[in-house]
Amino acid sequence: MSQTLFDKLWNAHIVRPETPDAPALIYVDLHLIHEVTSPQAFTELAERGLKVRRPDRTVATMDHSTPTWPADLQGQRRYASEQAWEQVRTLLDNCDEHGITVHDWDSPNRGIVHVMGPELGLSRPGMTIVCGDSHTSTHGAFGALAFGIGTSEVGHVLATQCLLQRKPGKMRVTVDGRLGAGVSAKDLVLHVIGRIGVDAGTGHVIEFAGSAIRALDMEGRMTVCNMAIEAGARAGLIAPDQTTVDWLRGRAHCPQGEDFEQAASQWLQLKTDPGAHFDREFRFDAEEVAPTITYGTHPGMVVGVDQAVPASIDAAGRRAMDYMQVTPGQSLLGRKVDVVFVGSCTNARLGDLRAAAEIMRGRQVADGVRMLVVPGSEQVRKAAEAEGLDQVFLAAGAQWREPGCSMCIAMNGDQVGPGQTAVSTSNRNFEGRQGPGSRTFLASPATAAACAVKGCITDPRHIDGPPEVRIHFPAPRQMEARQ
């Protein structure tokens, strides 16, 4: 019978099949951990006298509560609190005790878990990958089954390398056609979430397919899969192809030489069979995608940056717009911006920084705007510095920081002030996500950079155009009148 890519990945990892009484036992090839969601799991192990079953399949990084300021002259780091430091230390102690590789301050590879894993070639096609972090869906870009888990399940994987799971449903999002100039993978995925909704993927794994997805580079594919969770999905997936293989060749944890070519030929077999069944299907045309931005308090409330936000909304929409101080029926262009954040596991890879730098080059961050650029990993930082991107940002008046989650989750002291407006390349615009009372507009790196330069919400395609003046006509009323 025809199988989907997801079926194949699932079947290859069944230790015990699902029965009415018990979920399937699924084997985990790679377990990534970080300081925030692991300490209680290690405590659980200690209380039961258990060991980590496969330290060799476990890799740790520190990213969420770590400061992004460089160390001072004494080598000290500015932690946001005693507790934050305690959390990082706990991770280091736990890794030490259990023989787990940890990318700490001394590692040349430390980074946000979902940037670092792929970069090191730890995430490869055909694998199962989990992490106590919902954006683990990112690694699905390589044709791996990758999903986020809670801390109890982190404990399960540490102790047994397995998880109890019922098989999710299958969903496919096909995007054909070509993205327009100045339109990125981030715009594409925001557009899709806006159309299908933030809970469309609940209980499903989404496979992204179609010519527009094929045309994305690996960084773009990671951005798309990263946001699959924002459509509620368990995981996002893209079938491996030559782009995947070329990106992985030579990475530290990949097989090398002839072994690599052999592995690659197997990876290229991993795809959905023709005629395989999906429980839900959606299709989109890439040409319809504009630079896209959110206007509300979840990632499904999106609009083309040059379009007006919806005029007719329900109570929830109104509450969200009130919070965001957005007027129904009006365009966001010209809305004053206080903070711009280029970073996070969604958009802090080299290509993202290049896209932002291209806009910033020779321009200045507008007065009154604070801009933070936070590379996703040490490798990204070094590559960006080698190209002089740091100098572009610094010359423009932006801050160039060290890798970490930073303002995406605002746990490390980097945050947006109460009531402030931020344009961010991260993935969540929930109330208070970037700091209590913060207002977040999610967008691509190019749009974020354009907003920084202009000091207000700006269409990156028209950054040098005349000041954008829009005339608002009242919404047509004849429909109501006729009733």
Partner 1 sequence: MTPFKRLNSTTVVLTERNIDTDQIVPARFLTTTNRRGLGQAAFADWRFDKHGQVREDCPLNARQAETSEVLVAGENFGCGSSREHAVWALLQFGFRVVISSRIADIFRANALRNGLLAIEVDADTHAWLLDNPGAGVTVDVVQARLRLPDGRDIEFELDPFARTCLIEGVDALGYLLGQEQAIAGFEQGAREAA
Residue 399 interacts, among partner 1, ligand SF4, none and using kind-specific CB cut-offs from 5 to 8 Å, with none
Distance CA 216, CA 223 (A): 10
Q: Of 333, 332, 380, 334, give the one whose Cα is nearest residue 357.
A: 380
Among the listed ranges 38-46, 66-74, 323-331, 350-358, the one in contact with partner 1 (CB under 8 A) is 38-46
Residue 345 interacts, among ligand SF4, partner 1, none and using kind-specific CB cut-offs from 5 to 8 Å, with ligand SF4
Q: Of 403, 398, 407, give the one whose Cα is nearest residue 449.
A: 398
Residue 383 interacts, among partner 1, ligand SF4, none and using kind-specific CB cut-offs from 5 to 8 Å, with none
b (16+ CB within 10 A) / e for 183-205: bbbbbbbbbbbbebebebbeebb
Residue 83 interacts, among ligand SF4, partner 1, none and using kind-specific CB cut-offs from 5 to 8 Å, with partner 1
Among the listed ranges 162-170, 304-312, 346-354, 466-474, the one in contact with partner 1 (CB under 8 A) is 162-170
69 binds partner 1 (CB under 8 A): no
Residues 6+ apart with CB under 8 A from 41: 132, 151, 152, 154, 155, 158
Helix axes 218-226, 350-360, angle to 10 degrees: 100
Strands 235-237 and 280-285 turn out to be unpaired
Binding-site residue total for partner 1 (CB under 8 A)?
Answer: 69
Task: Identify residues 288-317 at the interface with partner 1 (CB under 8 A).
Answer: 298, 316
Residue 418 interacts, among partner 1, ligand SF4, none and using kind-specific CB cut-offs from 5 to 8 Å, with partner 1
Among the listed ranges 164-172, 281-289, 379-387, 390-398, the one in contact with partner 1 (CB under 8 A) is 164-172
Residue 40 interacts, among ligand SF4, partner 1, none and using kind-specific CB cut-offs from 5 to 8 Å, with partner 1
Task: Identify residues 367-406 at the interface with partner 1 (CB under 8 A).
Answer: none
Contact map string, positions 164 to 183, toward ligand SF4, x by CB under 6 A: --------------------
Dump the DSSP string for 282-349. EEEEGGG--SEEE-SSSTT-EEETTSBPPSS--HHHHHHHHHHT--TT-B-TT-B-SEEEE-TTTS-S
Distance CA 478, CA 402 (A): 56
Strands (E), 74-168: 101-103, 128-131, 145-148, 162-165
91 contacts 38 by C-beta, under 8 angstroms: yes
CB of 92 to ligand SF4, least distance (A): 19
CB of 53 to partner 1, least distance (A): 8
Cα 404 → chain centroid: 13
CB of 197 to partner 1, least distance (A): 9
Backbone angles phi, psi at 157, to 5 degrees: -70, -40
231 binds ligand SF4 (CB under 6 A): no
Contact map string, positions 217 to 236, toward partner 1, x by CB under 8 A: ---------------x-x--
Distance CA 207, CA 8 (A): 13
Task: Identify residues 69-128 at the interface with ligand SF4 (CB under 6 A).
Answer: 112-114
92 binds partner 1 (CB under 8 A): no
8 binds partner 1 (CB under 8 A): no
Residue placing its CB nearer to ligand SF4 in the complex, 68 or 426: 426
Residue placing its CB nearer to ligand SF4 in the complex, 126 or 299: 299
Binding-site residue total for ligand SF4 (CB under 6 A)?
Answer: 14
Strands (E), 122-266: 128-131, 145-148, 162-165, 169-176, 204-209, 235-237
Is residue 96 helix, strand or coil? helix
312 contacts 207 by C-beta, under 8 angstroms: no
Residue placing its CB nearer to ligand SF4 in the complex, 189 or 409: 409
Residue placing its CB nearer to ligand SF4 in the complex, 65 or 128: 65
The torsion angle over the Cα atoms of residues 43, 46, 51 and 55, rounded to 10 degrees, is 30
The one among 100, 321, 356, 409 contacting ligand SF4 by CB under 6 A: 409
The torsion angle over the Cα atoms of residues 23, 24, 28 and 32, rounded to 10 degrees, is -20
Task: Identify residues 420-439 at the interface with ligand SF4 (CB under 6 A).
Answer: 426-427
290 binds ligand SF4 (CB under 6 A): no
Q: How far is CA 249 from CA 58, 138, 352, in A?
A: 22, 19, 21
Distance CA 60, CA 107 (A): 11
Q: What angle do CA 352, 436, 425 make, to 5 degrees?
A: 10
Task: Identify residues 436-455 at the interface with partner 1 (CB under 8 A).
Answer: 436-437
433 binds partner 1 (CB under 8 A): yes
Q: Is 220 exposed, middle or buried (0-12, 13-18, 19+ CB in 10 A)?
A: buried
Residue placing its CB nearer to ligand SF4 in the complex, 4 or 137: 137
- Please give the structure tokens belonging to residue 417: 């002030």
Residue placing its CB nearer to partner 1 in the complex, 111 or 132: 132
Residues that bind ligand SF4 (CB under 6 A): 63-64, 112-114, 133, 135, 344-345, 405, 408-409, 426-427
Residues that bind partner 1 (CB under 8 A): 12-13, 15-16, 20-23, 25, 27, 29, 36-37, 39-40, 43-44, 48, 50, 53, 64-65, 80-81, 83-84, 86-87, 90, 126-127, 132-134, 148-153, 155-156, 159-162, 164, 166, 168, 198-199, 202-203, 232, 234, 298, 316, 319, 409-411, 418, 428, 430-433, 436-437
